[in-house]
Amino acid sequence: MTDHATQLSLLTPAKPRHTASTTHARVLLFNTQHASPARAYRQAEWISQQETADLVVLTEVSAGPGGAALVEALRHCGYAHVIAPAATGDGYRSVLAARTAPLEPVDAGVSFLPHRAPAAIATIGDRKVGVVGLYVPSRGPKERRNEDKRGFQEAVTAALPGIATAFPDMPVVVAGDLNVIEPGHQPPHKVFGRWEYAFYNSFTEAGLTDAFRHLNPEAVEHSWFGLSGRGFRFDHIFTSTAHAPLIQACAYDHTPRTASLTDHAAMTLTLSVPD
């Protein structure tokens, strides 16, 4: 049986609402919060209106009607290239989309829940950049507490050193909802264990740089807020450390969160891509 997302990708996309850059990777990270079809269409509409959303990494995309509607809506809003892996088993996935940059699928090497870690080479003008989307599972129900989270984090940690091999001689962007916070996070949250902080540190150890922290060493910023109102910086964008000097901008946009499109802030990155 043909996957519904694959069928939707055959539809003729609309013309993009903004002209994509041919010299910079302009990335938008957006957690969809398991959107219904109606909210998915509103999300795609908002995303398409963002001038710098040339490459989009979407997390917490459902395997059901809402996820299918999102893929369809992205193409209707001018995203000609969409990679939407089928979510097998756990019901959530990550999706990659691009306005005009062709996306060549690449195996990121994540062996557990690989539909949460799609990867591609994006061709921007005559330049190339590697893109990986990640959606780390939450802690899970009491009877399976942290099983999927640990399994996926371990698989990603094992795959990260091979990223340079998967994307030779080009900048790499790894973006997603990691469901962990950095060491020294403000405010502190005692719920996280050493293994979760170790997962965040594994990106640095694999030759990747936290783009937001690179530009804002001391800034306190959050992308999700609990019922108590305390903030968490769950959403992250990393670049290959060798290309960190090419980071032009990286910031959080709380507009979709305050507009009730999702419960997460969006995140943006502008990275110069060398010839």
Nearest to 131 by CA among 62, 56, 199, 34: 56
pLDDT grade for 12, boundaries at 50, 70 and 90: low
What pLDDT score was predicted for residue 8? Answer: 43
Which positions ≥6 away from 216 have C-beta within 8 Å?
Answer: 250
pLDDT band at 3 (very low <50, low <70, confident <90, very high): very low
Q: Give which of 171, 159, 162 is closest to 117, Cα–Cα.
A: 159
Task: Examine the pLDDT at 34 and tell me if it is beyond 50.
Answer: yes
Ramachandran bin of 34, using left for φ above 0, alpha for ψ from -120 to 50, beta for the remaining angles: left
Place of tokens 């032009």: 248
Tens digit of pLDDT for each residue in 176-213? 999 998 898 888 778 778 889 999 999 999 999 999 99
Task: Provide the strand spans (E) within 65-218.
Answer: 81-83, 92-98, 103-106, 119-124, 127-135, 172-177, 208-210
Order of strands across the sheet that contains 92-98: 81-83, 92-98, 55-62, 24-31, 266-272, 247-253
User: What's the pLDDT score for residue 121?
Assistant: 98
Q: How does pLDDT run across 211-242, given as a tens digit for each residue?
A: 999 999 999 999 999 877 889 999 999 999 99
Nearest to 193 by CA among 117, 139, 136: 139
Q: Is the pLDDT of residue 125 over 60?
A: yes
CATH of region 4-272, choose from 1.10.132.20, 3.40.50.720, 2.40.50.140, 3.60.10.10: 3.60.10.10
In tens, the pLDDT along 65-114 reads 999 999 999 999 999 999 999 987 778 999 999 999 999 999 999 999 99
Local structure of residue 154 (DSSP, 8 states): H
Under a CB-based contact definition with an 8 Å cutoff, are residues 147 and 140 in contact? Answer: yes
pLDDT for the residue numbered 143: 61
pLDDT of residue 191: 73
Residue 142: pLDDT over 80: no
Sequence-distant contacts of 188-192: CB under 8 A, at least 24 apart: 189/230, 189/232
Contact, 178 vs 212, CB < 8 A? Answer: no
Question: Residue 134 and residue 126: Cα distance in Å, rounded?
Answer: 26
Instruction: Judge if the upstream peptide bond of residue 102 is cis by omega within 30 degrees of 0.
Output: no
Percent of the chain at pLDDT exceeding 70: 93
pLDDT tens-digit map of 157-183: 999 999 878 899 999 999 999 999 889
Model's pTM, two decimal places?
A: 0.93
Measured CA to CA, the distance from residue 121 to residue 24 in angstroms comes to: 14
Q: Hey, which bits of the chain come out as E strands? A: 24-31, 55-62, 81-83, 92-98, 103-106, 119-124, 127-135, 172-177, 208-210, 224-225, 231-232, 235-240, 247-253, 266-272
